[in-house]
Amino acid sequence: MKKNKSRCTVFIDGSNFYFKLKELGFRNLLEFDFSGFVKMLAGKKGSLVKATYYVGKIRTDGTKKTQQLFRSQRKLLAHLKKHKITYSLGYLMKSDGKYHEKGVDVNIAVDMLVATYENLSDRLILVSSDTDLLPAIAKAKEKGKFVEYVGFSHKPSVALVATCLASRLLTKEDLEKFSVKKREARKQKKGLWRPYGVTGDFSIFTIP
């Protein structure tokens, strides 16, 4: 008798994810294969229910910089939609010339609890190193949900590793598998590459 696959929900903390990728040399999220990435996280024994990308919403104030950021974010959201990733928008506040996200961790926590209490998922896969999510993780575990932390090997969250029931620490090599640009380069070497895809630089969070 076949065992039913576990229902998986993926929660991606967008800003956290982008900056960790940037530290590893990945700068363009439009070249990232999100659908392949979340499928890998769910694994062969998992059935992906939903994957959500959480990010602060860019609002333009008429300046060239915010207009550029607004356009970049629109491109990212379209890219996520293409990969069947839903998105949830918090907001950005400007303080001392820098933008700070607000409401994103709250949105993640609320969605984790909804998935838990409405029994929408068996495994909650959290791609974030935000320790503000520890109470939501504890409550999900208390209700019998399997919470998995996905972090980065070069800068893991010790608290999340200790609290979650499983941890997956990604290396640069792991992530290169989902870089469209790097895949095309490998195909080109083999004589299989044909030009296609998205061009342009995505730098939504590269705010001076």
Q: pLDDT band for position 208 (50/70/90)?
A: very low
Does residue 63 lie in a domain region?
Answer: no
Note whether 90 and 49 are within 8 A (CB): no
Whole domain around residue 119: which residue ranges?
A: 6-51+105-189
Q: What is the mean pLDDT of the chain?
A: 87
**Predicted pLDDT at 186:** 57
Q: Using one digit for the tens of pLDDT, what is the confidence trace for 97-110?
A: 677 788 899 999 99
Q: What average pLDDT score do residues 183-189 get?
A: 58
Note whether 141 and 93 are within 8 A (CB): no
- 1 pLDDT exceeds 60? no
Does residue 185 lie in a domain region?
Answer: yes
The pTM is what? 0.85
Q: Using one digit for the tens of pLDDT, what is the confidence trace for 38-65?
A: 999 999 999 999 999 999 998 888 788 8
Does residue 27 lie in a domain region?
Answer: yes
Percent of the chain, pLDDT > 70? 85
**Predicted pLDDT at 2:** 55
Does residue 147 lie in a domain region?
Answer: yes
Q: Using one digit for the tens of pLDDT, what is the confidence trace for 74-95?
A: 999 999 999 999 999 998 877 7
Does residue 73 lie in a domain region?
Answer: no
**Looking at the 3D structure of the chain, how many domains does it have?**
1
Which residue has 């907001």 as its token pair?
91
Does residue 75 lie in a domain region?
Answer: no
- The single-letter DSSP state of residue 152 is E
**Predicted pLDDT at 202:** 37
- 189 pLDDT exceeds 70? no
Does residue 21 lie in a domain region?
Answer: yes
Question: Which residues contact residue 156 at a Cβ distance below 8 angstroms, ignoring those fewer than 6 apart?
Answer: 129, 167, 169
Q: pLDDT band for position 31 (50/70/90)?
A: very high
SS3 192: coil
Q: Using one digit for the tens of pLDDT, what is the confidence trace for 170-182?
A: 999 999 999 877 6
Does residue 11 lie in a domain region?
Answer: yes
**Predicted pLDDT at 64:** 87
CATH code of residue 129: 3.40.50.1010
Contacts for 19-22: CB closer than 8 Å, 24+ residues apart: 19/205, 20/129, 20/152, 20/155, 21/175, 22/205, 22/206
